[in-house]
Structures are given as C-alpha cells and as structure tokens.
Amino acid sequence: MQYFNTWFDTCAFMIFAAMILVYISRRSVRIFQNNVFFVMLLCMTGATFMNIVAASMDGQGRELVLGAYTAVYVLDIASTLIFAVYVSAFINYRVRRARILQSLLAPAAGAVLLLVVNLFTGAIFYVDEYGCYHRGEVYAVIFIIEVCYLLCGMALIYRLRMQIAREKLLLMFPFMITVILGGIIEHFLPAMRLQHFQLSLLSISLYMGLQNPEEHYDRESGLMNQTAMMSHVERKLYSGDACQIVVVAVRGLGMIKDFVGQEGIGELKKEILGTMRRYQKEALIFRLGQGVFAIIPDRDDYARAEEIMQEIVVRFRMPFLKDFYEIELASSCCHFEIPRDARNADEVRSLIRMAVETGRQKGMDIVDLADLDLRHQVYLREIDEKVRNAIRDGKLEVYYQPIYSMAERSFVAAEALLRMHDDDHGFISPAVFIPVAEANGSVVEIDRFVMKEVCRLISGNDLDSLGLHYIELNLSPADCIQEDLADFVDSTLKEYGVSPERLNLEITETASDALTQVVDENVRELNKRGLSFSLDDFGTGYSSMSRIVDLPLSIIKIDKSILQPAFDVRLPDPKRQDAETLLQCYVDMIRKIGCRIVTEGVETRDQAERILELGCDYIQGFYFSKPMDEKHFLRWMKDQAEHPEKYRYAEVYGD
C-alpha cells in the first residue's frame, strides 16, 4: 500500500465547492460561456473528490480502486478539455464548427479509448492483487494530453493578448504555468497530489479574470453585448479577415410602451429576440442597445447577409400580436463589410451609430451607406440631447397661425405650432426635432406641454373679443395611443377652466391608421366629452375612406402637397391639370361626407381664389399670415378684430 498526501486535494475540493456555491448564488446569465465554466467546475470538483476517494481506498479492493482511478482519469481529461473549450468560447470562437470540435475532441476521445482498453491491459495504470495503484508503461500519454489542452488554452489567450486587459493576463498566466509545473512535480512525485490544487487556483484566476458575464453578455437578452461585438470586430481587423455586419434598429417601441405596459413590452421584446435568434446557427448575434442588434454571419457571404437583412425587414412589416391588438413595429437595417467599409473599431462604431440614427430619424427600412452623412449625424445627436431637455431648459415655444373663414370673411381659429430655439443652432426646424422627439420617446411629453400652453392662452384671454372660436393643436401618433389621453385632456381643461369647445384636436392619417382600435377609443371618448377633431395632412397617408368616415371628424385639412402642384409653373400643363383634378376630387369627396375643409399651404392670391371657387371652408397659409409667437399673435388678432376692413381680403372675393 502506498501513502498519498491528500491535504492539497482536500483544500482544492473546498475551494471548488465554495466556487460552485458562489457561482450558483450569482445567478449568472445562462449562455454558452457560463454553462461551460460551470461544467468545468463540476468536472474538476468531481475529479478532486474521486482522487481523495481513490487514495483512501488504496489497498482495499482491486475492483473498487480500479473504478475510482478510472473515474479520476476520465474527469481529469474532461476538465482540461472543457478548459480549452471554455477559452475558445470566451474569445467567441464558434466551437460548434465541426473542424474545431473535432480538433478538440479527438485527443480526449483517444484518451477515453485508452482508459477503456486499460481495464484489460493495465498499460496506463494497474491495481495489483493487494488493491494497490501503480502507473503503467504509457501513463505519460494521458499526462501529455492534459498538458496539451492546458497549453492550447494558454496559446489562445496569448494570441489575443492585445484584446485582453494586461492585469487579467498577469493574473491568469502564472496560474496556468503553476498548473503545468504542479503536474510535472506530481508526475515525478506521485504522492504529492498537487495538480488539483493548482487547478483550483487556476479556476479562481479564470473566475476573477474572464468569467464576468456583465462584461461580454447582456443580462436581459442573454445575447452577447457591444463589448463582445467590438472584441470580435477588433480580432477580425487584426487578422485581416473580412466579415459582413448587419445592423438592425427596431422602430416604434418607444411610442407604444405606455399603451402596452411593461408586461406587453416584455412580450414584444421576446418576439423580437426570437426573430434575431433564428440566425444563431449561422451567425453571431449581439444586442447593442435598446432595440439595436448586430448580426455577423459565420461565413463571409455578402449575398447571405443581404438575404438576412431583407428577411428581417419583411418580418417587421408584419404586425406583432398583443392580446387582441395588431401592433405595428418597423426596423431599419444596414449592411456593411469590414475592412472594406470600416478600417478600425472607431469607424465601425460610427457606421453603426449613423445607420441607427439615420434609419430611425428618416423611417427607412434599409439604410444604404450612401445615405450616411457624418456631419449631419453629429448634428442630430446634439439635437437629440437638446430635445430631451427642451421643456426643462425652456427651449420650446408655441406659435400660432391664423385660419381664415371664407364664409365669415375673418379669422376664426388658429393652429398651435411648436418651435424650438437653441443658443447654438438658432431656430431648429420642426421637420428636424419632431422626428427626433418621436424616436427618443419625448414626443408625448412635448404634446402635453403644448396642450397646457394652449389652455393657458385660452384661459388668459377673451377669445370671442378676438374673433376666435377655437384653437387647433396636433396630437402625435404616440399620444393618440396613450390610454390616459382622455383623462389627461379632461384634467388639463379643468385645471385651466377651458371649455372643450375651445379646442380642436388634429390627428394625422398616420395616427388614425396605427393601432386603430386604440385611436378610435380615444377619439370617441374625447368627442363624447365635447372636443372636436380634425384630420391633418389629408392626402399624404394611406388611410381608407371607410376609416375616415368612421371617425367623428368635423374638419379635414388638405395638405399643401395636394394644393401646390396644381399651381407649380415648373410642371407641364397636363401634370398641373391632373393635380387640379385630384384637388377637386378631394374637395368633392370631403364635402359629400359632411366635413368642413381647411386647405393648408395657401401662399398666393391665385391659390386663394381657386380655393374659394372649389368651395373650401377655411384657408391657412402664408398668404394671410405666417405663424407668430404668442405676443405678436394676440396683438395681430386684436388689430384684425378692431379693424376688420384691413383683413377682409376683398380682392379674393372680387368686392
């Protein structure tokens, strides 16, 4: 019977057990890297435990000792194999690939086969008739295989030393070397049993140096994060290998989050993640931020990357189901190749950021690299930050544009229009900051700011003395689907003591078409409470007439894009005639369904005269007045009320 010092094994077992308990209590993200690390801990713990058991049983029965040591060898081989797999997983190598799996598994499979044969030959180790363990003639083969796996892991880490923090390398490499040295010492002094103790220290170094799910994985989705993607990209750039990158930015989540609630958003995110995970067998999937993903196919295949992009665009054109609602989302996708389109990590980050911002700002399904303007994107990022803080910083101001009544020959209403002023950029066009507000989710707060400002103006002035019947204000598509919209409007009217008849709420064709059931419920509820509605920008969307007839609309506003072509001298006569025919058809159709008509964008006398001939009820445009700030608007309305003869525009009527 031989004497084996099991004190090192006992310490190793305690360390492994403590690490397993800590690892379980951490509730790490269930992804491949973490799972492999946990299995490696279990194998090393099992090997250490069986080593203690085998040493204590030495000399107490041949079959038991033979089985115990066979288990030790199998678990040792498995531990070092899994170590190599773990390092491969950490550096994002696709260990599922057959070639890599075969190269990693082949030595282990050979070792297990030798151990099976060893039960009959005793070539690796044998147990004598007294139940004592002895090494066999080819014992060194198993030792060499284990060392090779350790060296393989070290080589992989060394190859990527430029992408791993220096302090982590300094933490790991000494322990890896001591593991090999411990194995060599145990090879020549079998009674020392140092190897498992050294493996326990190596595991601690790996846990502290590499095993950090928050660094490379997104806890919410379980996908790799931006840090992992940039590490992968940097390795590709470092090696000179080309790869395709498809960026996907989901649009519309911010607009519906209050409508569907946190639980509904969670369900939608699961469906979106499911769409992304469809490609996990052929690509790396990364979550870069809220609703932003990157897909990097395994193969450098431009055509397949284009197919993936098109498939995602098509999927997002179909509605997502939530309870009884069909929720319409959209995606903006961009495909580029490195190093052709981006030569370093900073350029990759810039391309991704620009693609996401351009797609969301312009509502583009597919963003071409030619669409990206770096200087404009820098400008938009600045605007995004300013829009988020615009109300707090007092940068928003409500302007008013009078609306002229053909029947009363006076200004009877006005539309509230939002303007934004910035110290750096001056006045910022609504065409710029409104899409930004819709994209970053601040548009609902801005809408409600405007409503309060309008109600404050109404409550502080005698509208009748100014000739005003009501003020129009726009509701964004995002506001139209808020469940508390009716209650908010009601409470705001009560807060300022404003009668519902003093407000006319404008919705766009886009708003009336998105989540139609929710929009309908809000519009009808507010209409019951005495508010009237207009349909803004008519002719620019895709609403069906049945939808328009179904809504309780009192006014339909014809967009200037319908009016202007009929008077555009740059167009050939047939085109202008077609445009005027279309305008006439719109007017006739609206009048037949019983709605009043406001024509927007009237800029000349010819246009005003033609609008009068067509039978429109109201005119709005620069011909009468540009939008004015509150102070100038009130002064202007007071002047026209006191001197109506100045504002009758008799020439339009031929008086």
pLDDT at 89: 67
pLDDT at 433: 85
d(C-alpha 294, C-alpha 236), whole Å: 15
Mean pLDDT lowest among 113-127, 176-190, 274-288, 366-380: 366-380
CB neighbour list of residue 213: distance below 8 Å, 6 or more residues apart: 28, 29, 31, 33, 34, 219
Helices and strands: H and E segment counts in the chain: 26, 18
Short-list 29, 42, 164, 1, CA closest to 91 = 164
Q: 1 falls in which pLDDT band (50, 70, 90)?
A: very low
C-beta of residue 590 within 8 angstroms of C-beta of residue 554: no
Q: What is the pLDDT of residues 507-525, one digit of tens each?
A: 876 555 555 667 888 888 9
Can you read off the two tokens belonging to residue 331?
């995606």
CATH (residue range 218-372): 3.30.70.270
- Find the mean pLDDT for residues 412-420: 94
CB neighbour list of residue 605: distance below 8 Å, 6 or more residues apart: 623, 651, 652
- pLDDT of 635 over the 90 cut: yes
Q: For the residues of 396-430, what is the DSSP string, one character each?
A: EEEEEEEEEETTTTEEEEEEEEEEEEETTTEEE-H
Number of Cα atoms under 13 Å in the Cβ half of residue 474: 23
d(C-alpha 594, C-alpha 631), whole Å: 36
CATH (residue range 383-638): 3.20.20.450
CB neighbour list of residue 522: distance below 8 Å, 6 or more residues apart: 480, 481, 482, 485, 486
Q: What is the pLDDT of residues 527-562, one digit of tens each?
A: 999 999 998 877 665 455 666 777 889 999 988 888
Q: What is the pLDDT of residues 163-179, one digit of tens each?
A: 566 666 666 677 677 77
Q: For the residues of 277-335, what is the DSSP string, one character each?
A: HTTTTTEEEEEEETTEEEEEESS--HHHHHHHHHHHHHHHHSPEEETTEEE--EEEEEE
370 versus 76: which is more confidently predicted? Answer: 76
d(C-alpha 531, C-alpha 501), whole Å: 6
Q: Does domain 7-215 sit in CATH 2.60.40? A: no
Q: 96 falls in which pLDDT band (50, 70, 90)?
A: very low
- pLDDT of 154 over the 60 cut: yes
pLDDT at 219: 74
φ, ψ for residue 188 (rounded to 5)? -90, -25
Which long-range contacts (C-beta less than 8 Å, at least 24 apart) are formed by 609-615? 609/652, 610/566, 610/567, 610/580, 611/406, 611/563, 612/406, 612/652, 612/653, 614/583, 614/584, 614/587, 615/587, 615/591
C-beta of residue 229 within 8 angstroms of C-beta of residue 236: no
- Find the mean pLDDT for residues 155-165: 66
- Find the mean pLDDT for residues 258-287: 80
Segment of 315-319, 393-397, 453-457 carrying the highest mean pLDDT = 453-457
Short-list 17, 38, 39, CA closest to 27 = 38
- pLDDT of 358 over the 70 cut: yes
Query: Fold identical between 7-215 and 383-638?
Result: no
Percent of the chain past pLDDT 90, that is, above it, reads 21
Q: Give, in degrees to the nearest 5, the angle at Cα 216 between 330 and 41.
A: 130
380 versus 415: which is more confidently predicted? Answer: 415
By DSSP bridging, strand 243-251 and strand 133-135 are: unpaired
Q: How does the average pLDDT of the chain come out, rounded?
A: 81
Q: Does the CA dihedral 358-364-366-370 come out positive or negative?
A: negative
Number of Cα atoms under 13 Å in the Cβ half of residue 479: 25
For the chain, give every domain's residue range.
7-215, 218-372, 383-638
> What's the maximum distance between 2 C-alpha atoms anywhere in the chain?
128
pLDDT at 490: 93
CB neighbour list of residue 643: distance below 8 Å, 6 or more residues apart: none
